[in-house]
A and B are shown apart, each in its own frame.
Chain A
Amino acid sequence: MKMKGFTGTGALIRLILRRDRFLLLACVVLPALLAVTEAATFNHLYPTAALRQVIASEFASSPAEVALLGPIYAPTIGGLTAWRWSMFNALLVGLGSLLFVIRHTRTEEEAGQFELLGSTVVGHNAALSASMIVTIGADLMIGALVTCGLIGVGLPITGSVALGLSAAAIGWTFAAVAGVAAQLTESAGAAKGIAIVVLGLSYLLRAIGDMNEHGGMYWLSRLSPIGWMSLIRPFADERWWIFVLFISLVIVLTVAAFAISSRRDMGAGILRPRPGPAAASPRLRSPLALAWRLHRGTLLAWTAGFAVYGAMSGGFAKTASDQLAGNLQLKNLLAQMGGSSRLSDGFLTLFLTLFCQVAAIYAVMAALQMQTEEMEARLDPVLATSVSRLWWATSYVLLAAVGTAIVLAAFSLPAGLAYGLSIGNVGYELPRVLAAAMAYLPAILVMVGIAVALYGLMPRFTFVSWGAVLGIVLLELLGKILQVNQSTLNISPFTHVPNVLVGEVSVMPLIWLAVVAFALTVIGLVGLRRRSIG
């Protein structure tokens, strides 16, 4: 490899740090915050060794828990924290690292920004090396902060170091995976797709392997970097040699990425892009058809994700409630949240509220696709045809509403089915869970309404709708714990959703929410009709 290919790496590193300093800061701090919070929560909920032993064996005996979070190696605060934190943060750090690398390599290249840079004194490997160096550094920072945080809350130093480093190792691995993926395709989207599939497969292999720890397929998790992460066993007789595996893999992938990068043309990939259709399908003839065409991939991904988590949640509700029946403290907590004496209903309510909040994120994102279209200047040519603003914007609102209904169904149908199967009463549970999820639709549409109103009246302030979503999530999560008074809780549309699972059936709040959502949407559409575009 010729060294001149790396000229300008330093300048690009500074550019990346300058552009993404806040993003990097947020991404680096988050995993440590989660780790410290989880350690503190375990400390608070299970203060005695006996209690921890009980909870650890209960969790460990649930296949759903093991599939989701992996095995528990030690019934200590450290062991429980490592178990609860590792898998979710492996996905978080892995995803963050791979997206970051692609963001500063293929995305820029696809946008043609390297043509400008490439003609200056910047080598063809500079972008790859700069983005890898920043990502690897950021991952190391994550590891260091996690380690410091856990030592800070009083956990053993060795285990804290092992857990922190394990996250960094996952980050490096997927940064390297992304480095290779970015060389393969001409499109950043496809490169992200490849890297995310590798991440998903790693998680899946580990899940299957961990569930069959004593069966024939345990070796599957040994093939997965995420499986290696849990094999490090932080706080439980750490196996340091696993890091050698990580480092070897990172080196192999990085060398491969640079080897391809040195040999390929600017803008080109190894995989040829597939040609599209030469003519549009006869159905592609309305703004709604266009909006659907642009959105269907996103909707499919959300639907698939929600279906998987729905099935898991439904299947988990019964097991968890059976196993936790003995834990009075947790039972009370869930009963308080669900307002139900049936523990499994409490679990389902908990999952449902959580996923409906995530569905609100989806809904707002789908509605604000309008703004992306306007900002990327793709709206001008559409509005210069005989498409009215009203019809155009209504297409996106309609799609956001229908998409939300689909996503809610995608969560609640498998959840209801799995739950019904587990307690042997599908005919009763399936419609009940579906109705409980659908009851959230008007509340979510209020969030869409807020986004549309802002977009129509004050497009510069659409970020406020994300603030509103965040506020509602925080109110739902912390409202009861912090004993926020009812009038504050009433601000959130989610507060007014009847809990169908515990038999609340009141239609009036739903009608009111729908009216508010409709009114906000109309305000936004009228505003859009009256303002300048672009």
Chain B
Amino acid sequence: MRGLCVIQIKNLTKYYGKHLALNSVDLEVEQGEVFGFIGPNGAGKTTTLRILLGLLRKDAGEVSLLGGDPWRDAVALHRRLAYVPGDVNLWPHLSGGEVIDLLARLRGGFDQSRRDELVKRFELDPTKQCRTYSKGNRQKVALIAALVSDVELFILDEPTSGLDPLMEAIFRECVGEFKRAGKTVLLSSQILAEVEALCDRISIIKEGKIVETGTLTELRHLTRTSVSVETGQPITGLSELPGVHNLSIDGARAQFNVDADAINSVLRCLVQFDVRALTCTPPTLEDLFLRYYKLQPRGSTP
């Protein structure tokens, strides 16, 4: 069932001078889902999020956030969302506790017991001045300041960068709690394991363009299983089969990638050559990611 759209972006385009930062981006995030937004540095993740927050002007396209216009209705909309910036910069002479309270109050107030609980869970010392915090601790301050708010939508720009694995686990717990409470989370990330663990749906952005969107299962379906096989007789005819890629044959050994819908026909072909050993590796998000970012030469379509 498709729910209500919390975020709806159509044909969003943004230039920085002459540089095309976003090239007609489409994105839809539904109520109650955890949506992963992945892509390497400079792909346009932060630009998209900052347009959603009404910090940047768009050049073209339509953006709707919680039913409003993020530029025009910024103040009213921001009461209903919380944001963690990608680069956390805090006021050097304020303590972590002060920053948490200030940001949460500016958003519209917070629950004191929830705040104390989060400070304890993330093991933050709130009395230290922000300039003395490490990167991870600054990240914790920004995270707590966002997570403490009782809002409908969380926009998190690489929220776990600099956190240790323990704190990352606590962050995942928090996101799980939000999900059960029916809240929506837009999570930009580079940590694919985190996205795999948390997200219902994913969009991959590359050079300002969304290249793939779907659930992890759907995306896996799109990509290829890598197969390594050893046979009794030399393999022939494999290269003619549709859906076989990057084939390398070394006598009775072969390695190749195969499209999901071609697996059956490939197996049928292999059986003729007396299969001795067979390894199939299902695609991970990482394969998917690398496929878009490394193996594909610029400009070509997958």
Residues of A within 8 A of B (CB): 110, 186-187, 189, 273, 275-281, 284-287, 290, 293-294, 376-378, 380-388, 530-534
Other-chain contact of A386, B96, B102, B107 (Cβ < 8 Å): B107
Other-chain contact of A376, B50, B89, B132 (Cβ < 8 Å): B89
Other-chain contact of B55, A277, A280, A383 (Cβ < 8 Å): A383
Task: Name the A residues within 8 Å of B81 (CB-CB).
Answer: 384
Asked whether A531 lies within 8 Å of B78 as measured between CB atoms, the reply is: no
A534 to B129, CA, bound (A): 25
Asked whether A293 lies within 8 Å of B94 as measured between CB atoms, the reply is: yes
A378 and B56 in contact (CB under 8 A), knowing A279-B97, A284-B101, A285-B106?
Answer: no
Asked whether B56 lies within 8 Å of A385 as measured between CB atoms, the reply is: no
Task: Name the B residues within 8 Å of A534 (CB-CB).
Answer: 50, 55-56
Chain B residues 54 to 70 lying within 8 A of chain A, measured CB to CB, are 54-57
* B57 to chain A: closest residue by CB: A532
Residue contacts A-B, CB under 8 angstroms, 14 given: A186-B132, A276-B97, A276-B127, A279-B126, A290-B91, A294-B91, A294-B93, A377-B85, A381-B85, A381-B142, A382-B106, A383-B74, A533-B50, A534-B56
A273 to B98, CA, bound (A): 17
Question: A173 to chain B: closest CB distance in Å?
Answer: 29
Task: Name the B residues within 8 Å of A387 (CB-CB).
Answer: 75, 78, 106
Asked whether A385 lies within 8 Å of B55 as measured between CB atoms, the reply is: no
Question: B178 to chain A: closest CB distance in Å?
Answer: 18
Asked whether B56 lies within 8 Å of A532 as measured between CB atoms, the reply is: yes
A313 to B54, CA, bound (A): 51
Task: Name the B residues within 8 Å of A279 (CB-CB).
Answer: 97-98, 101, 126
Residues of B within 8 A of A (CB): 50, 53-57, 74-76, 78-79, 81-83, 85, 87, 89-103, 105-108, 126-129, 131-132, 142, 145, 155
Asked whether B78 lies within 8 Å of A385 as measured between CB atoms, the reply is: yes
A525 to B108, CA, bound (A): 24
A187 and B97 in contact (CB under 8 A), knowing A380-B85, A532-B55?
Answer: no
Asked whether A276 lies within 8 Å of B129 as measured between CB atoms, the reply is: yes
Asked whether A277 lies within 8 Å of B90 as measured between CB atoms, the reply is: no
A382 to B55, CA, bound (A): 11
Question: A116 to chain B: closest CB distance in Å?
Answer: 13
Task: Name the A residues within 8 Å of B98 (CB-CB).
Answer: 276-277, 279-281, 284
* A276 to chain B: closest residue by CB: B95
Task: Name the B residues within 8 Å of A278 (CB-CB).
Answer: 95, 97, 126-127
A388 and B106 in contact (CB under 8 A), knowing A293-B94, A383-B55?
Answer: no
Asked whether B106 lies within 8 Å of A275 as measured between CB atoms, the reply is: no
A280 to B126, CA, bound (A): 10
Question: A355 to chain B: closest CB distance in Å?
Answer: 28
Question: A112 to chain B: closest CB distance in Å?
Answer: 8
A245 to B90, CA, bound (A): 45
A277 to B99, CA, bound (A): 11
Question: B85 to chain A: closest CB distance in Å?
Answer: 5
Question: B154 to chain A: closest CB distance in Å?
Answer: 11
Other-chain contact of A377, B83, B89, B93, B106 (Cβ < 8 Å): B89
Asked whether B91 lies within 8 Å of A378 as measured between CB atoms, the reply is: yes
A382 to B105, CA, bound (A): 11
Question: B185 to chain A: closest CB distance in Å?
Answer: 15
Asked whether B132 lies within 8 Å of A273 as measured between CB atoms, the reply is: yes
Asked whether A386 lies within 8 Å of B101 as measured between CB atoms, the reply is: no
Asked whether B83 lies within 8 Å of A381 as measured between CB atoms, the reply is: yes
Question: B111 to chain A: closest CB distance in Å?
Answer: 13
Task: Name the A residues within 8 Å of B54 (CB-CB).
Answer: 383
A3 to B71, CA, bound (A): 59
Asked whether A386 lies within 8 Å of B126 as measured between CB atoms, the reply is: no
Question: A271 to chain B: closest CB distance in Å?
Answer: 13
* B142 to chain A: closest residue by CB: A381
A333 to B204, CA, bound (A): 74
A388 to B75, CA, bound (A): 6
A378 to B96, CA, bound (A): 14
Task: Name the B residues within 8 Å of A186 (CB-CB).
Answer: 132
Asked whether A378 lies within 8 Å of B95 as measured between CB atoms, the reply is: no
A-B pairs, top 7 by smallest CB distance, nearest first, are: A276-B95, A280-B101, A385-B106, A275-B127, A384-B83, A280-B98, A385-B107
A382 to B92, CA, bound (A): 15
Task: Name the B residues within 8 Å of A187 (CB-CB).
Answer: 92, 129, 131-132
Task: Name the A residues within 8 Å of B83 (CB-CB).
Answer: 380-381, 384
* A284 to chain B: closest residue by CB: B102
A382 to B90, CA, bound (A): 11
Task: Name the A residues within 8 Å of B87 (CB-CB).
Answer: 377
Asked whether A110 lies within 8 Å of B131 as measured between CB atoms, the reply is: yes
Question: A528 to chain B: closest CB distance in Å?
Answer: 12
| Most chain B beta-carbon neighbours within 10 Å: one of A280, A281, A287 | A280
Other-chain contact of B53, A273, A377, A378, A384 (Cβ < 8 Å): A384
- A383-B53, A386-B106 are known; give 17 further A-B pairs, CB within 8 A: A187-B129, A276-B93, A276-B94, A276-B128, A277-B95, A277-B127, A279-B97, A284-B105, A285-B102, A285-B105, A380-B50, A381-B83, A381-B142, A383-B78, A385-B106, A386-B107, A387-B75
Question: A430 to chain B: closest CB distance in Å?
Answer: 36
A284 to B102, CA, bound (A): 6
A383 to B83, CA, bound (A): 10
* B134 to chain A: closest residue by CB: A112
Task: Name the B residues within 8 Å of A276 (CB-CB).
Answer: 93-98, 127-129
